[in-house]
Chain A
Amino acid sequence: MHLLTLTTQVLRDPDAVAGSGDDHALARLAPPLLVLAVGGAAVLGLAVGASAGPLQSVYAAVKLPALFLVPPLVVLPLVHTFAEACGVSVPWSRLGIATLAGLARSGLLAAAAAPVLWLPFSLDAEYHLAVLAFVATFGLVALPALATLSRAVPTGGRLRWVAVLGTLAMLGLVTAQTGWLLRPFVARPAGVVAFLRPVESDIFSAIGATTRSATGDYDDDWQPRGSGLNRTVRE
């Protein structure tokens, strides 16, 4: 299928793309869907990193597609098993193509949102506001992917809603923490541009802190704690 035709179909009717989920369709559609997802995410990455210079743009353009792809793909076996446990049988190929179709749609929306985000970033937006704007944009463009994936779970069965909610919760948690591990996407004004920061604390404490900082409350200044493999190095 031509890439432009597929782009139109992914934007207008992603469920039709996701619904054509047999193995032949998966082999045929996976490559162009992957191109759309990775390309769109990379464009958003370029815009997000622009405030800290071209090097940060390149870093963010490499990491953001990883943030798009890795969480849903890592969680996929868990989603499949969870759905089976809830009595909802989803063929693996259908799940795979629905994931890629959702990611492609989100990638296209990310590319569309890139200029909107790039404008305030290029006007020297305050760091914490910039981080929140990025998180909000990412959350918004990720919603269609979650919706496409949840609609791929067949109807029927009393526990379908448990399977869908469980899927969304797992994806949300893994995506949030993956994003935290892959930061910085938005470089600190006085910070050194780096591909990755040390492994510190978790996403939820950091969002709370950056929200307080964005409102001018610096009293309870957040200090990251070394964790995981970095614990012995940093403490």
Chain B
Amino acid sequence: MSPSTLAMMLGAGWLLVGIGVGGLLLRQGQPTSAAAAAVLAWPAMVSLLGAESMDAPGAGPFAVKITAAFAALRAALAEPALGGVVELNSLQGIERSLRRADARLAAVDRLLEDPVVASDAGSVRLITARAHAADEVEAVLRQLLAVRVQLGLVALAGDTSAVRAHLGELAARAQALEEVTC
């Protein structure tokens, strides 16, 4: 077998797997660009299989903060000393609620950009409700920071009950966001 034939077979195999992974990502609602990248770099992107679609929650004013907060929290929980303190999956519910609230804020912001809506007498109520919802989202994000501080204490003292209780409280508060912002 000539090296060129062998290389072409290996290359075709690599691309076929990549096309398969890319197709699955598209079916899951991931962006087309991510699916296209997976054709070449599928080993780096297999974690997206089964991940929550990016299309569902629209990016709102807190999208960057939410991403940063959860990335930092997950990185902290990945530390060997903190392994098993909290199931990473348990954070997904909180993140999902926050992203939904964020998407609704974005929708309200788009509405308020319309001068007709903004000049309506009822818009004051909408603006007040939006401010209240934004405060709630910020409060949950601040509490996520507090969880990271508590994780540091867990690493030293080993008492995980406070962190679990705090996360439970956060989950309830994030769940309440669904009602506040509706």
Pair from one complex: yes
Q: Residues on A close to B: CB < 8 A?
A: 19-28, 30-31, 34, 38, 66, 69-70, 73-74, 76-77, 87-97, 99-100, 154-157, 181-182, 195-199, 229-230, 233
Given contacts A31-B37, A196-B4, A229-B6, contact A91 B74 (CB under 8 A): yes
Given contacts A23-B51, A24-B67, A198-B3, contact A34 B83 (CB under 8 A): no
Which residues of chain B come closer than 8 Å to A89, judged between CB atoms? 78-80, 83
Contact (A155, B46) CB under 8 Å given A27-B31, A197-B3: no
Assess A31 versus B34: contact at CB under 8 Å? Given A23-B51, A92-B46: yes
Residues 27-42 of B, flagged 1 when their CB comes within 8 A of A and 0 if not, give: 0001101101110111
Residue of B nearest to A34 (CB): B37
- What is the distance, in angstroms, from B34's C-beta to the closest C-beta of chain A? 4
Known: A27-B54, A100-B41, A199-B3. Contact between A156 and B71, CB under 8 A? no
Report whether B3 and A230 are in contact in the complex, using a CB–CB cutoff of 8 Å.
yes
Chain A residues within 8 Å of B71, by CB: 19-22, 25
18 contacts between A and B (CB under 8 A): A21-B71, A22-B71, A23-B47, A24-B51, A26-B44, A26-B45, A27-B30, A30-B41, A70-B14, A73-B41, A73-B44, A88-B80, A92-B47, A97-B44, A154-B80, A156-B81, A157-B81, A199-B3
**Do B80 and A87 touch across chains, with their CB atoms under 8 A apart?**
yes
Q: Nearest 6 CB-CB pairs, A to B?
A: A96-B44, A23-B51, A92-B47, A157-B80, A31-B33, A27-B34
Once bound together, how far apart are the Cα atoms of A182 and B42, in whole Å? 21
B7 at the binding interface (Cβ < 8 Å): yes
For this complex, into which size category does the number of interface residues on chain B fall? 35 or more
Q: Chain B residue with minimal CB distance to A63? A: B7
**Cβ-neighbour of B48 out of A27, A66, A69, A181 (below 8 A):** A27
Extra 16 A-B pairs, beta carbons < 8 Å, given A34-B41, A73-B41, A233-B1: A24-B54, A26-B45, A30-B37, A34-B40, A69-B40, A73-B43, A73-B44, A74-B43, A77-B43, A88-B80, A91-B74, A93-B47, A100-B41, A156-B81, A196-B3, A229-B6
Set of chain A residues within 8 Å of B1, measured between Cβ atoms? 229-230, 233
Q: Closest residue to A98 on the B side, CB-wise?
A: B44
The reply to whether A195 and B4 contact each other, CB–CB distance below 8 Å, is: yes
| B78 and A100 contacting across the interface, CB-CB below 8 Å | no
Smallest CB separation, B64 vs chain A (Å): 10
Q: Smallest Cβ distance from A98 to chain B, in angstroms?
A: 9
Closest residue of chain A to B3 (Cβ to Cβ) is: A196
Seen from chain B, the residues whose Cβ lies within 8 Å of a Cβ on chain A are 1-4, 6-7, 11, 14, 30-31, 33-34, 36-38, 40-48, 51-52, 54, 67-68, 70-71, 74-75, 78-81, 83, 88
Residues of B within 8 A of A233 (CB): 1
A181 and B67 CA atoms in complex are apart in Å by 41
The docked-state distance in angstroms from the alpha carbon of A233 to that of B5 is 14
Q: Do A20 and B83 touch across chains, with their CB atoms under 8 A apart?
A: no
Residues from chain A with Cβ under 8 Å of B30 in the complex? 27
Give the complex CA separation of A96 and B14 in angstroms: 17
Q: A91-B78, A229-B1 are in contact. Are A22 and B70 (CB under 8 A)?
A: yes
* B-side contacts of A28, CB under 8 Å: 31, 34, 54
B66 to chain A: closest residue by CB:
A24
The verdict on A154 contacting B75 (CB below 8 Å), with A73-B44, A89-B83 known, is: yes
Which B residues touch A95, using CB under 8 A?
Answer: 44
Whole-angstrom distance from the CB of B86 to the nearest CB of chain A? 13
A129, B44: Cα distance in complex, Å: 35
Contacts of B83 in A (CB 8 A): 89
Q: How far is the CB of B58 from chain A (nearest CB, A)?
A: 13
Whose C-beta in chain A lies nearest to the C-beta of B31?
A27
Which A residues are in CB contact (< 8 Å) with B67?
20, 22, 24-25
B34: which A residues are within 8 A, CB to CB?
26-28, 30-31
